[in-house]
Amino acid sequence: MTHFIKADRFLLENEEKTNGYLQVNDNRFGVFVDAVPEDATVVDWSGYTIAPGLFDTHIHGINGHDIMDGTVDAVQGISKAILPLGVTRFLPTTLTSSKEDLNAAISAVRNAVQRGLAGAQSEGIFLEGPYFTEKHKGAQNPGYFRDPNYEEFREWQQLAEGSIVKIALAPERDGALEFICAVGDDGVLPSLAHTDADFDTCRRAVDAGARNFVHLFNGMSGLHHREPGVAGAALIDGRAFAELICDGHHVHPEVAALAARTKEDKLSLITDCMRAGLMPDGDYQLGEFPVVMKDGIARTETGSLAGSTLKLVDGVKNLYVWSGKPLYEVWHRASLSPAASLGREDVLGSIADGKLADYVVMDEDISIQAVAVAGEIKYRNN
């Protein structure tokens, strides 16, 4: 069924448009027009802005749930909790853990997807680890760190029924470059994280197919004028995407604005959210580590940041203020860039003819009023 959406403003793929009508054909966007036929079905959102659904490609949990709980309920809980926040697509993200716990988490995601998710839809699994190095371990458990093993990965991929789409590793581990080539040939996005590699090692990893850097500036060697390190490689190499947590704690606002200017459409906003998101301050668990959240900031007992409690839409709001860039451009860093990092920009991430009709309705304060997944309104702020 074809209908038209009327609104005051539309954040289209390459520009903002005021007034007008957006065509929706069943579950996909159609064209943007200035007028519609008299007999057209019109959904009137006058006074509001229509923007593409957000895509969080790095989220561990929220609202008391965590992917590493290894249960269908946890996956469903995350799916439901992030939908009212404007997120229509996400990558359920694991942590470095035992093989048994990873198996359970992968199975839970697979089973939840097969049964159908009630909120945001999974676009595949992100394995964050376990092939890291200890110096920048963050909240990852070094007791499980090891060299990349393609046969082990194939076992996980078989368990996931082919739904693992992204894996993070440290490129200085033995066999890392060969592993990057192998999983890249399988259509999986190799990403660099929790690493102390030098610039040249990172460049070789990108040459091999690692086209994404996980949570830029965090869990990696920093930028130095004589040794650019991992952060320098992420900023300098125009072939690679870089993830950014825009909560004002993981990265200084001015540095976040610098990254936005440097990486442009190769910047992906993420949350790296853990189970304490949407929850009150207190004691929580991230994987096998106890975590204390105070003033909305989650830290391990040693003081390391332990993921975030960020809402992706708040990351967009922050970068919009910090960078001074147009809203449609900043918004796409949390929708189109994440989709493009996975090679899915042809069907997801922006309002364009033929793409899946994931969209949010928001007011002038960028507060979410409604969310649609594939053309169907799934959330409405009563």
Sorted by where each begins, the domain ranges of the chain are 2-51+349-380, 54-341
What pLDDT sits at residue 137?
84
d(CA 301, CA 279): 19
Helix/strand/coil for 152: helix
What are phi and psi for residue 205, nearest 5 degrees? -65, -40
What pLDDT sits at residue 300?
85
pTM: 0.97
Q: Cβ contacts of residue 165 below 8 Å, gap of 6+?
A: 91, 123, 124, 125, 126, 187, 188, 189, 342
Domain covering 54-341, topology = TIM Barrel (3.20.20)
Catalytic residue (one of 56, 69, 272, 358): 272
CATH architecture of 2-51+349-380: Roll (2.30)
Question: Which H, E and C letters describe 336-379, residue by residue?
Answer: HHHHHHCCCCCCCCCCCCCCECCEEEECCCCCEEEEEECCEEEE
- Is 237 one of the annotated active-site residues of the chain? no
**pLDDT-flagged residues of the chain (< 50):** none
CB 5 within 8 A of CB 45: yes
Neighbour tally for 244: CB within 10 Å: 28
For residue 268, what are the β-bridge partners? 243
Q: Cβ contacts of residue 193 below 8 Å, gap of 6+?
A: 128, 129, 132, 168, 169, 170, 213, 214, 215, 219, 220
